[in-house]
Amino acid sequence: MKPAELNEWLSKVLENCQSIRNDLEDRLALKEEITEHLRQFFEFEEIEFTHDMDCIKLKYKYGHDPVIRDKSLSKLGMDFIITTTYSDKLGQGIVIELYPFGLNDGTIQKD
Protein backbone atom coordinates (compact mmCIF):
# COMPACT_ATOMS: atom_id res chain seq x y z
CA MET A 1 0.00 0.00 0.00
CA LYS A 2 1.38 3.38 -0.99
CA PRO A 3 1.48 6.24 1.54
CA ALA A 4 -1.36 8.07 -0.26
CA GLU A 5 -3.49 4.89 -0.23
CA LEU A 6 -2.74 4.36 3.46
CA ASN A 7 -3.75 7.96 4.25
CA GLU A 8 -6.98 7.49 2.29
CA TRP A 9 -7.66 4.25 4.17
CA LEU A 10 -6.98 5.95 7.53
CA SER A 11 -9.31 8.77 6.59
CA LYS A 12 -12.09 6.31 5.71
CA VAL A 13 -11.57 4.41 8.99
CA LEU A 14 -11.82 7.63 11.00
CA GLU A 15 -14.92 8.67 9.04
CA ASN A 16 -16.49 5.27 9.68
CA CYS A 17 -15.68 5.43 13.41
CA GLN A 18 -17.29 8.88 13.65
CA SER A 19 -20.36 7.60 11.82
CA ILE A 20 -20.65 4.71 14.29
CA ARG A 21 -20.31 7.11 17.26
CA ASN A 22 -23.04 9.33 15.77
CA ASP A 23 -25.33 6.34 15.25
CA LEU A 24 -24.78 5.16 18.85
CA GLU A 25 -25.51 8.64 20.20
CA ASP A 26 -28.70 8.80 18.11
CA ARG A 27 -29.75 5.36 19.34
CA LEU A 28 -29.19 6.35 22.98
CA ALA A 29 -31.19 9.54 22.44
CA LEU A 30 -34.06 7.51 20.95
CA LYS A 31 -33.99 5.13 23.92
CA GLU A 32 -34.01 8.02 26.41
CA GLU A 33 -36.90 9.69 24.59
CA ILE A 34 -39.10 6.57 24.63
CA THR A 35 -38.10 5.77 28.23
CA GLU A 36 -39.34 9.21 29.34
CA HIS A 37 -42.57 8.68 27.37
CA LEU A 38 -43.14 5.32 29.07
CA ARG A 39 -42.48 6.73 32.55
CA GLN A 40 -45.62 8.85 32.06
CA PHE A 41 -47.63 5.61 32.16
CA PHE A 42 -45.60 3.01 34.06
CA GLU A 43 -43.20 2.70 36.97
CA PHE A 44 -40.60 0.01 36.25
CA GLU A 45 -37.31 -1.32 37.60
CA GLU A 46 -35.59 -2.06 34.32
CA ILE A 47 -36.13 -1.43 30.61
CA GLU A 48 -34.83 -3.60 27.78
CA PHE A 49 -34.93 -2.96 24.03
CA THR A 50 -34.60 -5.46 21.20
CA HIS A 51 -31.96 -4.60 18.60
CA ASP A 52 -34.58 -3.25 16.16
CA MET A 53 -36.50 -1.57 19.00
CA ASP A 54 -39.63 -3.40 17.86
CA CYS A 55 -40.18 -4.78 21.38
CA ILE A 56 -39.54 -2.92 24.63
CA LYS A 57 -39.72 -4.82 27.92
CA LEU A 58 -40.50 -3.13 31.20
CA LYS A 59 -39.38 -5.39 34.04
CA TYR A 60 -40.47 -5.49 37.67
CA LYS A 61 -38.94 -7.08 40.78
CA TYR A 62 -40.48 -10.19 42.26
CA GLY A 63 -43.57 -9.25 44.25
CA HIS A 64 -43.89 -5.77 42.71
CA ASP A 65 -46.91 -5.31 40.51
CA PRO A 66 -46.91 -2.77 37.68
CA VAL A 67 -48.32 0.65 38.45
CA ILE A 68 -50.13 2.29 35.57
CA ARG A 69 -50.27 6.03 36.21
CA ASP A 70 -52.67 7.23 33.55
CA LYS A 71 -56.13 5.72 33.17
CA SER A 72 -56.13 6.65 29.49
CA LEU A 73 -53.65 4.38 27.74
CA SER A 74 -54.71 5.74 24.35
CA LYS A 75 -51.83 8.24 24.66
CA LEU A 76 -49.38 5.34 25.01
CA GLY A 77 -49.68 4.70 21.27
CA MET A 78 -48.58 1.07 21.18
CA ASP A 79 -49.80 -2.47 21.73
CA PHE A 80 -48.65 -4.26 24.86
CA ILE A 81 -48.77 -7.64 26.57
CA ILE A 82 -48.42 -8.23 30.31
CA THR A 83 -46.61 -11.47 31.17
CA THR A 84 -44.19 -12.98 33.69
CA THR A 85 -40.57 -14.00 33.25
CA TYR A 86 -37.42 -14.78 35.21
CA SER A 87 -34.45 -12.42 35.43
CA ASP A 88 -31.18 -13.22 37.23
CA LYS A 89 -31.14 -9.66 38.57
CA LEU A 90 -34.84 -9.22 39.46
CA GLY A 91 -36.10 -12.79 39.99
CA GLN A 92 -39.51 -14.00 38.80
CA GLY A 93 -41.60 -10.97 38.02
CA ILE A 94 -44.04 -9.14 35.82
CA VAL A 95 -42.95 -7.91 32.40
CA ILE A 96 -44.85 -5.52 30.17
CA GLU A 97 -43.88 -6.08 26.55
CA LEU A 98 -44.56 -3.02 24.41
CA TYR A 99 -44.74 -3.11 20.63
CA PRO A 100 -44.25 0.40 19.19
CA PHE A 101 -44.86 -0.83 15.62
CA GLY A 102 -47.91 -2.82 16.69
CA LEU A 103 -48.95 -6.46 16.65
CA ASN A 104 -50.88 -8.26 13.93
CA ASP A 105 -52.37 -11.55 15.13
CA GLY A 106 -49.63 -11.80 17.77
CA THR A 107 -46.83 -11.06 15.29
CA ILE A 108 -44.71 -7.92 15.43
CA GLN A 109 -45.49 -5.45 12.65
CA LYS A 110 -42.45 -4.35 10.67
CA ASP A 111 -44.09 -1.87 8.26
> Which pLDDT belongs to residue 21?
97
The SS3 assignment for 54 reads coil
The reply to whether the predicted model has a pTM over 0.85 is no
The SS3 assignment for 99 reads strand
The SS3 assignment for 48 reads strand
Nearest Cα residue to 68 out of 88, 90, 98: 98
Q: How far apart are CA 9 and CA 28, in angstroms?
A: 29
The structural domains of the chain, with segments of one domain joined by +, span 3-108
Nearest Cα residue to 38 out of 106, 109, 91, 100: 100
Highest mean pLDDT among 61-70, 85-94, 95-104: 95-104
> Which pLDDT belongs to residue 27?
96
Which residue(s) pair with 68 in the sheet? 42
